[in-house]
Structure formats: C-alpha cells, structure tokens
Amino acid sequence: MSVPAGDLAEPDRVERALLAAVSVYGASLAFVCRALDEAAIEFALRFQARLSFLFFVLALTASWLHRVRDWSWAAWLERNRDALLRSFALSHLIHGAWIVSFYVRTPATFSWNLVDVSGALAFPIIAFLFMPIARGSSARSVRVRTAVMVYAWLQFIGFFIDRLLNGRPELKVWYGVAIAICLAVARIATLVRRQVPLAS
C-alpha cells in the first residue's frame, strides 16, 4: 500500500515550522532586549530558557502523554518527538548565545563551579542533536539522543538545585517546581523506555 506524500512530508514540515518559530521567538527577544544591559540580558536568558525547558519536557513525555491520554495532540507530539528535540536544541543554543553576552557584560558573576562548567559543556553536546549521527531510528542514533538528553537533564536539575539554594528569593518557588518537573520527567522517561504500563 502506498503512503501518501503528505504523510511522508509531515515530520519535515513540522520540524521546519518549529525551528522557524523558535528562531522568531529568539529574534523577538533579541529585539525586546536590544539594550543589552544586565537587566535585559537576564530577561532574555530567563524567557529563552523557559522555552528550551518546555520543548525538553514535551519531548521526553510525548510517548507517555499519548499512552495515558489518547488525545490527538498527544499523538502529534509523539509523532514529532524528534522535531521537538531539535527545537529544544536550537532554543538552548540561542540561550547559550545570551549566556556569552551575559559573561561579556558581567564576567565576575561566573564562578566556574561545577554548574557553570557543565553548563558550558552542554551546548556543544546538545548540538549533536542536529548531526546525522543523532537522526534516524538506528540503535546508535537512539543511544546518542539518549546520552544527550540525559546530560541535558542532569544540567537542568543541577542548575535548578543551585539556583534554589543560591538564587534570588522571588524565584525559589519556580526552581522548586522545576526540580519536581525534572524528577517526574525522569520517572516517566524511564518507565516509557522500559515499556512499563502506566496508570491513567
């Protein structure tokens, strides 16, 4: 039975649309924060990071959402999980550019502790998601994507814990919620990977 051309083209269309949306979002933040002072860069860092985290969570929970809630949008998320991964990667690389800007502006704020160093390493590692080795359904590609996402998860939760302990008081509730989300995502991803039945 032949497969309609539109079905074959959907993953590519979705990926192009998502990457374009991430680019527009990043460009809009750059315009809003064009003053490039410390407050503007911090604003851009926070909002670009929120988008990255959203794509990260959706990519890792797409299969679970489809299994426990047979909604059409959940099926769409699962079908386009790889596009979500690369959208996360692009958003986080844009976030990295803002970090460089912040470092140029305020180098003294970087202590180069474990969180800072692992965060700097995260960007070239996450860029692997755009490389041919991370595309496709081969065992090697799956291992590469898994390794990248595990590293990203460790970086996210390490950063959130550090900010919860040492960050601004008014953001501590958000960091606590983000840590809880990270732990839930890890549990869900582990169960899905092992194909353990999930209660609805």
CA distance 44 to 56: 18
CB 125 within 8 A of CB 148: yes
Which H or E element spans position 173?
helix 172-193
Contacts of 40 (CB under 8 A, 6+ apart): 32, 33, 34
Unique residue bearing structure tokens 């692992």: 118
- Residue 11, judged by CB atoms within 10 A of its CB (0-12, 13-18, 19+), counts as middle
Cα–Cα–Cα angle for 110, 115, 119, nearest 5°? 85
Give the pLDDT score at 118. 87
CB 86 within 8 A of CB 129: yes
Fold (topology level) of 5-193:
Four Helix Bundle (Hemerythrin (Met), subunit A) (1.20.120)
Domain boundaries, the chain: 5-193
Report the chain (200 residues): mean pLDDT per 10 consecutive residues. 53 92 96 91 94 95 84 87 94 94 85 83 92 87 92 94 90 95 92 60
CB 164 within 8 A of CB 172: yes
Model confidence, pTM: 0.86
CA distance 28 to 44: 10
Give the pLDDT score at 195. 64
Ordered alpha helix ranges (H), 33-138: 38-68, 72-79, 81-105, 114-126
